[in-house]
Amino acid sequence: MGNDGGSIPTRRELVKNAARNPNTSELKATQQEAQTHAWSYCPLSNRPLAAPIVSDCAGTLYNKDAILEQLLPKDYDVPASIIKEKEDILQGRVKGLRDVVEVKFTLSTEDKEEKGICPITSKELGPNTKSVYLVPCGHAFSEVAIREVAGDTCVECNEAYTSENIISILPLAKNDISRLAARAARLKESGLTHSLKKAPGGKKRKKNVDAESTPVGEKSVATNGAVAKEGISDKLKARLGENGTATPQSRSGTSTPVPSGIKNAATASLTAKVLDEQEERNKRRKLGLNDNLKGLFSSGGYSAQAHKSGDFMTRGYSIPKKN
């Protein structure tokens, strides 16, 4: 069998070919193989791509169910290594469904096999064809067809789009990758997601209501989701300031400040009521107004002689004196 002690092989005998960098044809073959796999399998679930298919801002394709599974809370029995591996694949680009767009392919059946084609040129969309899709509609075309049409509406659904929202699918060119990265950065600064929807967690802008132009006692029309105010009671009018914020008065006559910025009269009155009740509870706790609890304790100390006539619950126990 060899290598049993009779002979010791050298490196020259084991390594026949010296290490070298791959040539251009080998690089292209490796790249083609990677592209074919990316067009066929979801990187998150390693399952074949099947409709509905979604894409992130970098043009990577995923199964929608895999994205939903990733966004749901994780089970405790999922290994941390698998969670980290999937997070490395997404690279923080997908934090919600607004960060992906469903890619709509025009399908053509050939030999009982469905293939995505360009609806303009009828070319098969895949690793051999540079393909793009439009945001926000998501229809996929070949890049050559979009460049030749050079319009501002989708030929499939007539929805408007701009040249910035033409997303390359699985791009390889450095200029395409950098263009998509710059677009994602601009959308993030504008508070938008990849699907051109508002990013969650942003500050909601509300229209300021001029308190001087609209008296508190009069009826004001509900605008921008605000509740209409009509027939405010005199007690609430006295507790409302000029700017529509409330300064509640407790039952003892002292005023309790309400957090500033509450311009809705209903919200201000509710806040005043809660603060008033909280102050009343604190006073009761300090004064010990609960008679049931006060009956269990005595402020004058315990006297065994005074409690001899009581029952065993109130009589207590006294230590006899030593003679």
What is the pTM assigned to this prediction? 0.58
Give the strand pairing for 101-103 and 106-110: unpaired
Rounded Cα distance between 276 and 279, Å, is 5
Q: For 239-249, what is each residue's pLDDT tens digit?
A: 444 444 444 45
In one letter, which amino acid is 190? S
Q: For 74-107, what is each residue's pLDDT tens digit?
A: 767 778 888 899 999 999 999 999 999 999 999 9
% the chain with pLDDT above 90: 41
Fold of 28-189: Herpes Virus-1 (3.30.40)
Q: For 199-232, what is each residue's pLDDT tens digit?
A: 987 655 544 444 444 444 444 444 444 443 444 4
Ranges of each domain in the chain: 28-189, 234-287
Rounded Cα distance between 224 and 232, Å, is 20
In one letter, which amino acid is 93? R
Rounded Cα distance between 44 and 90, Å, is 8
Q: For 154-205, what is each residue's pLDDT tens digit?
A: 999 999 999 999 999 999 999 999 999 999 999 999 999 999 999 987 655 5
The CA-CA-CA angle for residues 177, 181, 183, to 5°, reads: 120
Q: What is the DSSP letter of 198?
A: B
